[in-house]
Each structure stands twice: as C-alpha cells, then as structure tokens.
Amino acid sequence: MTLRPSIFQDYFTNPKTQADLKKFFEDYVHESKTIKWDALGVIVDDQNDPHAQFKTNIPFRKYESENKVIVLITRTIPEGCLEKVILYFKDHEKATDILFGTIGHGFTEEHIVTTYASFDEKNTQKIEVFDSKWSNLNKFFSNGPPENLEYHTLGTQSIFDPDTCGYHTLFNLLACMRLFKDKKSINTQNILEELQKSPQSPVIDVNNILQESTHFSTFMKQALKQTYCSDIGEEDAVFSSYFLGFPKTGSSTFDKCIFIISFEWLLVPLMNILKLPSIFLMNILAESINYIKDRVLEFAPTDMATQSLRTIGLFVINLVMYVFKTLALLFNLILSPQETAKKAYDIHPILGVLSAIASLSSYAALSIFAGPLLAAFAPPLLIKILASPLLSIWSNLNAGVSASLLLTVAFGLGSGLKWILDKLFNVSETTSTSVSSSTNNVSETTSTSDDDFVEVDSPLKPESL
C-alpha cells in the first residue's frame, strides 16, 4: 500500500465507483469536466514545486439540483492551491458544496486529508478539513492554514501509518457523497457513522475496487528481490544471472573473460548460498512482520481505546521489523559490500564512506577468523569440493594451505580484481534525467483518461503562487 498520484483517478474512473455515484444522484443533473491548472491562475514550477506531479488536469464531477451544486474533484489538490481551487469553482461553476482531497506536509511524509468547502445563502464561505489521523496544520499548510478553516480529526489512521491516507480520504469522500444523498450534515460524527455502517474498512474497500494484491506471496517475493535483485532490472532478474553470476545474454567477450578471471563462477554462487541463512532469512522475517503490519493497517477503529491499542501494536511491529532489517543490513556489509556502499552513497557521500570502512573492517576480521570458523562449522566435503579448483592451482605452486582459508583469500582477490577491471574498462553510467523531465513523466502517466470530460477554459491570467 503506497501513496501515488494516480490513485484518485484509478478509483473514480473505476466502473463500480461510477455506478455508486450515479445511484446516489439519480435526481441530479450530472456532468463530468476537466480544467487546466492555468485556469486557476497557477503557474506550475516543476523545478521547485514538490507537488508538481499533482498539477496536470483537474477532473471533477458536477451534480446540480434546484438548490445545490455539488462539485466532487476527482484528483488530489496541493495545499498551496486550496483557496484558488475553491474560488474558481464558486465563481465559474456556481458551486455550493465542494469536496476534494488535499495533499500537504505530514509529520514525516506527504499526507492527504478530506476537504469540504460550502457556501450558505449569504455566500459565506466555510472550509472544513477531516483528517484520518492528526496533523500539525502550520506544517501541513506551507503558508499557514486559511483563516476560516475548521479542522477535525477522525483518528481512523494511526500516526505510525505513512501509507493509507489516500485510501481513507477516498472512502471519506464517498461517505460525504452518501451524506448528501441522505440529506445529512457533513460532520465528524456522521462520517464515523458511515464508516461503522460499512462492512469493510476504508483500506479493504478501496483495495477491492483497485484490485491491488496484498497476498503473503507478494511479500515473500519482495524479500527475495531485496536479497538478490535490489540493484538490477526486471530483465536481469534471471536465476543464472543473479544467483549463479553468469553473464547475461548479449554480454561482451570482455565480460565473460572477467567472469572467469575474477573467479565469479565460484565466488558468486558461494556468496549467494551464504546469503540464504543470513540476509534472505532476515528479509523473510522482516517481510513477514510487514505483512502483519499491512493487516493491522486495514483496521480502522472509531473509538479512542481501540485506536490507542492499534497505535501501540504498530509501534511494536515497526520496532521488530526494523530489528530484522538492521540485521539484514549488517549481513549486507559483509556479503554485498559494493551494493551497500552505493546505496549509502546515494543517500549521502559520508554514509557511503562509512559503509565502505565498515565492510573493510569486517573483512579484516574475517581474514583472521573466517578460515577457522568455516573449518569448524562447514562440512569438510563441501569445502573440499568448492575449493578443489583453487587447491589444484595452489599445489602446482608447491604451497600448502587449508581449503577454508584459501576460499577466504580467493574471495578478497577475486572481488578486488573485478573492481579494478570494472573501473578501468567499463563505460560510465548513463546520466540521470533532470528533475523537470522526471516530474513531467509522472504527470503524463497520472493524467486523467475519462472520455466524457469536457475541457473548460478560463479568462483568468496565470500568476505565480
């Protein structure tokens, strides 16, 4: 369960959701439209705007009766544009009630809340925010909350849940539409009552509509990927490549020579076998706990006591899960030093240096203790079989050495040789795309695809936020 820009479009363009909305408002005149961001007087700055990927088209559904014009915006609106959006729909669509999800800054991540704006007969504006957990409004709104905003917390999402705010908001928006249908007020009590009447929690309800997989096997595949395939693409995730180390199809003769010279044909399978009872086991345990966490996140209690128990449970679950993830990371420092150092360097160069130092320190200790430990715990026959090619070479040099110590030395020499040759002869990595380019790609993939949307132009001139 993750937060992504397209979740609102996926949900509201789903046939089941559209059928529910049609059933709710059979007596209303229904219309689906979309507008461009420049219609709101907003310039989208991809370089500096953290919410730029949410600023493509604005699709909305308009429901009109004798005394009400309800607008349901079917995508997320960035918090800095909230008042502009409300003003536009009031002036250009004559909306009396406006519903949408607002994305802003949570405690540690992006967060979505349910927003309801209404206008009475005297044209007095009222903005209410219904939050599935609890937020700091001064942080959520980068320029401070609107003066006339009322904030309500529902408590159906835990503070240790960074992922399901979109699911809760989608459910709450549809709950508000049901309240319109039943001619009830939109307030905290009525929204919670809608949740209590629902046979499923918000997360399960939205998941069933979006048909997103949360099976246990999905988490086990993730554990396998984190162990062996975290730094390779899907096309390279072949057993002979990621586990046995064979050069992938189409590799150059040079790569195949490196595979032989650096002893990868021996060392890669050996290291991957060692990952099974270490990194892979820790990742299996961590993902098993993560599966349990997902099941807890599906639970949406409405009373304070149960909400507190869920929060305590999630704290303990997260603590245990990160213990296993930390142990997997420690094993990675020894068994996957280059991969671990690269990931640490991507976060911060100092972390990359510290990771490399930790790996070198581990190898210094292994050079002393690995031989005796391997000889003590590994089956002698297995050591002889794995080391026999190297022993033959060593014997021709008239040198005697134990099989276990020779394997340790061979690993260091082979890895070092491969690293030197890669640095000398491999071409540089392809440069990454610009922030603007990558943001535009996200925007294109998340734009609406409703065929019945009608584009609306506006006389407003764009101006900077």
| Per-residue pLDDT tens over the stretch 336-364 | 777 777 777 777 788 778 877 877 776 66
On the question of pLDDT at 420 being above 80, the answer is no
Dihedral angle computed from the Cα positions of residues 308, 114, 188 and 165, in that order, rounded to the nearest 10 degrees? -20
Could you tell me which residue, 282 or 242, shows the higher pLDDT? 282
Structure tokens that stand for 269 in this block: 């399978």
Q: What is the pLDDT of residue 389?
A: 56
pTM: 0.68
Q: Indicate the residue type of 210.
A: L
Indicate whether 151 pLDDT > 90: yes
Name the burial class of residue 147, with classes exposed (0-12), middle (13-18) and buried (19+) by CB atoms within 10 angstroms of its CB.
Answer: exposed
What integer pLDDT is reported at residue 433 of this predicted model?
Answer: 33
**Contact between 193 and 179 (Cβ < 8 Å):** no
pLDDT at 378: 54
C-alpha angle with apex 223: 238 to 370, nearest 5 degrees? 85
Mean pLDDT of 398-411: 56
Give yes or no for residue 393 having a pLDDT over 70: no
Q: Which residues face 59 on adjacent strands? A: 34
pLDDT-derived band at 455, boundaries 50, 70, 90: very low
In angstroms, rounded to a whole number, what is the distance separating the alpha carbons of residues 289 and 292?
5
Q: Where are the domains of the chain?
A: 7-212, 218-425
pLDDT at 240: 61
Higher pLDDT, 445 or 70: 70
| pLDDT score recorded for residue 448 | 36
Residue 290 has a pLDDT of 92
Q: Give me the amino acid identity at 262.
A: S
Q: Where are the alpha helices (DSSP H) in 27-146?
A: 82-92, 137-140
**CA 324, CA 286: separation in Å to the nearest integer?**
5
Residue 172 φ then ψ, to 5° = -65, -35
In terms of Cα–Cα distance, which of 203, 222, 181, 205 is closest to 28? 181
Give 425-437 pLDDT, tens digit per residue.
443 333 333 323 3
Tokens 């603007």 found at = 436
| pLDDT beyond 60 at 155 | yes
Residues 14-52 have pLDDT tens digits of 888 888 888 777 767 777 878 776 666 555 555 555 555
Task: Compare 416 and 124 and report the one with higher pLDDT.
Answer: 124
Q: What is the DSSP letter of 395?
A: H
CB atoms under 10 Å from CB of 403, counted, come to: 21
End-to-end CA distance of the chain: 32
The listed range with the strongest mean pLDDT (164-173, 237-246, 365-374, 449-458) is 164-173
pLDDT of residue 72: 92
The answer to whether residue 442 scores a pLDDT higher than 60 is: no
| CA 43 to each of CA 144, 436, 445, 461: distance values in angstroms, whole numbers, following the listed order | 20, 14, 20, 10
Write down the pLDDT at residue 323. 94
